[in-house]
A and B are shown apart, each in its own frame.
Chain A
């Protein structure tokens, strides 16, 4: 089977002016969403108490609120999970709040069953926030170092910009739609960062190989187009199979894995887009030329090419 080995080269680079506008809009919207709405952080990062309780059918959200009000507990944010349990979020530093909520609900509905309590104190949530931000910075820095060892600066910058686009886009989408941003989503963002860099690496490696084989008068734009086309099959199959695994998480993983899988999904598509339509164009914009490939860095010489 060969669906993905096109006969003729894609001519994506000639549209790079238009895709640049598209990318700029995407990044601008993402940044705006981040700045205005901000991510909907879970208790991991905000601190507070989250209680998940499975109640009997007679209990509704209003009943849950009434039960808590009767026990003089703070007004919770009530959500329902896909299997009908109630998720209550209380913005409180009181470590006893979870147990009190459960007791109040069980008083109103003896069949109420505890599924989970998460209490994160203010100190811990601050630490998780700092550690999370630090992890993001460390991974980004690690990737920048890796790429600058691997490529000359124009390509390195192209790949880095593409990568940062992915992060901003995932964070922006989560902010825009108010999807819960928890520790698992952060883990997904970091994993996808490491994973998506590779896409740009594969394309640039192919560019280098093609340039060495081609005559001197072939335009670099065409070489980029050819390289993207030649790696297309690998791109689709690799991302396709990763996405299949993620799809299984979306379908079977339940609420707990849903946002994790969603972040991965957005990340996978963003990384396909950015490695083709951002990494190359940015490098071109910076004046990418044949010379950039003629004396490869040591790391690049050692690395083989797809």
Chain B
């Protein structure tokens, strides 16, 4: 038997050591932990441990980073109790999030070795698929284009009616058709993104092609940013917020407990506007009734007060929008009522200054727009000129509402409303259950297969089992290094891979048996077995790979997790069957002096 070259042995040994190293962290259990995010990690940790000790709550250990601190616990119950306490105590100062930490020793992290990331179905949490209302984004764009063009025509002295028609189409009706050329030029320079169509004195502008994509892209991108900021405030460790396709956003919040609050905070558009109030009109019940019956006014619109106490006419013109808000925090006013403190950027500050200077003594409405509703939170009287910083209160906001409003204003409004089109919530107990059952299937499958193969093929069976262990290590290490999320179907894929991987060894072992039966001496039988089975093994995996890749391309979530494990498993099992088991066989039979007289292959 020709010896397996030394360099191949060394290569196999190196790869296996690396695989073991990177697979090792996944073998350590995770421990329940809390993540605290705030100004200073060490200070947070000190404050938290003092609080926990004071309340007689058990905690195990922890570590700190610059702006984060982690506390670990021995039991989930301790973790939850500590979470409730700390979330209350640190409200507004720091974000407290439930999480879990690997108990792997620190030196492993020095190599960059991390435990496999667990999918939501294994760790518990919420998965939302959000659909962005792109039609809204387009409407909004057209609306602002209308305003801009209206102003531009006024400035240039072109008499034109700019109106928004369904489609949406921006129709510019010229008083003097001779000005058509000038009007087209003006539109092209002020809003080049519109595609224009001219027909007898009317210019129609549409949003098409690339420009349309850009507007949608911008809206979805801004929504992702807003959601990221909102989720940051929710107290979730390691959230995922990502675009999916053209107009979808995936939000995954591991370990989240309060899903109702999450939905509320994620789904709200929360656009804030400050507008003038038409007090005379608001005082007239007759006009309110008329407006409620559907009568529309060009300059003002009727809006209800939040909390359902009456209506008020507000200007259609907006003084300042939420886009000008740079910070919002909740607090209280001089009378001790809950209020939200706002800070505006320079543009916003200039506008509010100019408006309030001219309108001292008048009312100003604070309008909150959500998906289908527009409400006036309050309409306080302007007592003096306002600057960049001021506070709003009203509507009988309680502390929680003021806090939530501040959060929403701070994180910005959604550029376009979103709908939850898919939700998958996994409770923490089911997540733990799934891990237990998934691991049970993998371990059970491994033991059954290993016993069967070892019994059937003797020493070569043991070689096959060793290759199976190598396969397990390589697959675990690969998943951990690639950062792929392991899901329950992924764990099932693990078990399935173990069962299917044996096929390669069976092909080799059966081939060796045949070569032996045909009278080949043991050494060359082994060699021929490996050499001739290799091509068949590759062949045998092609179709499973086709299925795996199709599943990956078309599947989502957990199914994709299965596809990843299936495809990677094919790669690792081919490697371990053809290369690793060959090295093991060489170690068993190749080191003997002289010819191999007998092969134990059942």
Contacts and interface: CB of A to CB of B under 8 A. Distances in A.
B29 to A, nearest CB: 18
A59 to B, nearest CB: 17
B42 to A, nearest CB: 36
B545 interface: yes
B506 interface: yes
Interface stretch (B223-231, B285-293, B313-321, B437-445): B437-445
A156 to B, nearest CB: 13
B544 A242 contact: no
B489 A234 contact: no
Contacts of A62: none
A225 interface: no
Most buried by B among A117, A245, A261: A245
Contacts of A183: 555, 557-559
Contacts of A1: 455-458, 602
Nearest to A258: B437
B536 interface: yes
Interface in A251-290: 251-254, 256-257, 260-261, 264
Interface residues of A, number: 70
A110 B571 CA distance: 50
B502 to A, nearest CB: 4
A195 B559 contact: no
Contacts of A249: 441, 445, 492, 495-496
Contact of B496 (A99, A201, A264): A264
Interface string A100-144: 000000000000011111111101100010011011001100110
Interface in A51-110: 52, 54, 95, 98-99
A146 B546 contact: yes
A87 to B, nearest CB: 12
Given A245-B448, A306-B507, A116 B424 contact: yes
B579 interface: no
A191 B420 CA distance: 31
B356 interface: no
B554 A245 contact: no
B8 to A, nearest CB: 21
B511 A197 contact: no
Interface string A225-237: 0000000011001
A253 B448 contact: no
A191 B422 contact: no
B389 interface: no
B533 interface: yes
A201 B539 contact: yes
18 contacts: A1-B455, A1-B602, A95-B421, A99-B259, A116-B427, A124-B422, A139-B546, A139-B550, A183-B558, A184-B558, A184-B559, A190-B550, A198-B539, A243-B499, A246-B499, A248-B442, A248-B495, A260-B492
Q: Which 9 A-B pairs have the closest CB atoms?
A: A245-B499, A194-B547, A248-B444, A252-B440, A245-B445, A248-B445, A242-B499, A121-B421, A304-B535
Interface of A: 1-2, 52, 54, 95, 98-99, 113-121, 123-124, 128, 131-132, 134-135, 138-139, 142-143, 146, 183-184, 186-187, 190-191, 193-195, 197-198, 201-202, 205, 233-234, 237-238, 240-249, 251-254, 256-257, 260-261, 264, 302-306
